[in-house]
Amino acid sequence: MLLAASEDVSDSFVQLDVGVGWWVGLLALIMVLLLVDLLVVHKEGHEVYTREAAIESAVWISIGLAFGLVVWWGFGGAAAGEYYSGYLIEKSLSVDNVFVWALIMSYFVVPRRYQHRVLFWGIFGALILRAVFIFAGIALIEKFEWVLYVFGAFLLYTAVKLVVGGDEHVDPSKSKFLKLVHKIVPLTDQMDGQKLFTRIDGKRFATPLFAVLLLVEATDVLFAVDSVPAVLAVSHEQFIVFASNAFAILGLRALYFLLADMHARFSYLQEGLAIILAFVGVKMLIHHWYVIPTWLSLLVIAIVLLASIGFSLRATRDADDHISIPEDPPPPAER
């Protein structure tokens, strides 16, 4: 068996013996989905409009939910509950990532027809980085259980920062990471289609799309620091945590094109994410004295996420209703 859960893991989480076949099947499915998306659906660079993005988002979400049924079939209801909890946590926390991507794309004035290709490679890199974070995190928890308290305290701190810090986002113009890239890699401000590198006067330069890709990867690392510990609060099984993360972020490209211009419509999303982070943080901190059941975690996360979206849409609708429409000026008086 490959990467089976340790015998020392708390009985509050499922412990699976995941065979090589399951891992090969999962990785093969992810690669097939990525290749179909790159070579079939988005073979040619084109602008993705709302209708197409909505259809693709529905497809990706359906695939993610369907894989939960596969987990249920293969490992039982408890494992499926952990998968769906992790999927919802990662999906909800990724929405903020989408808005940061929109800021980066806007700063570099990336044409919409090229944005999908950049995000494709960004997601590909994110899958690899998440795998590293997940396996390292679970290895730490299995060796040093007190790490759970560190993760829990960090999630509470992040929750408070979300409420207090509010709308603080990455400013590409102030990125030290980008300035470092400029020193290492020759960059040009000229686009060359969807290419990440181009040649000018015989010399090789990175295009602005390469800089965008690196910033997308860097921001994903920052968000993974929050999201991976949050998912580890609902499962310690590598296969479940990685699968829930993978299927949640696979659909982020479509979600980006659907939500990138709608940040103002989700005014209560920050508060909702803060509550979710605080909840899973508390779950980690009290696990030694009381274990919150997986079904209850899933229920709380779903209710908070739906409530934050509902309140946001209601606030937006009320604001639209209160916008005063100027009346037509009265006709001039007859002489």
Sequence length of the chain is 335
Q: From the CB of residue 152, how many other CB atoms can be counted at a distance below 10 Å?
A: 23
d(CA 79, CA 256): 29
pLDDT surpasses 80 at 148? no
Banded model confidence at residue 6, pLDDT cuts 50, 70, 90: very low
Region of poorest pLDDT, from 15-24, 183-192, 210-219, 280-289:
183-192
Q: Report if residue 325 sits inside a domain.
A: no
Which residues are CB-neighbours of 303 under 8 A, at least 6 positions away? none
pTM for the model stands at 0.73
Q: Report if residue 64 sits inside a domain.
A: yes
Q: How large is the average pLDDT for residues 110-138? A: 80
d(CA 276, CA 93): 9
pLDDT digits (tens, 9 = 90+) for 59-99: 999 999 999 999 999 999 889 988 998 898 888 777 767 77
Q: Report if residue 52 sits inside a domain.
A: yes
Structure tokens belonging to residue 132:
């590293």
Which of 219, 231, 248, 2 is closest to 138 using CA atoms?
A: 231
Domain range holding 60? Answer: 20-313
What's the pLDDT score for residue 130?
A: 81
Q: Report if residue 50 sits inside a domain.
A: yes
179: three-class secondary structure by DSSP: helix
pLDDT surpasses 70 at 328? no
Q: Report if residue 319 sits inside a domain.
A: no
Q: Report if residue 5 sits inside a domain.
A: no
d(CA 114, CA 122): 13
Q: Report if residue 268 sits inside a domain.
A: yes
pLDDT digits (tens, 9 = 90+) for 253-286: 888 777 765 655 666 777 777 887 788 778 778 8
What's the pLDDT score for residue 330?
A: 54
- Going by the DSSP 8-state scheme, the letter that residue 49 receives in this structure is -
What's the pLDDT score for residue 7?
A: 40
Ranked by mean pLDDT, the top range of 77-86, 226-235, 274-283, 300-309 is 77-86
The total number of structural domains in the chain stands at 1
Q: How large is the average pLDDT for residues 106-113? A: 76
Q: Report if residue 84 sits inside a domain.
A: yes
pLDDT surpasses 50 at 1? no
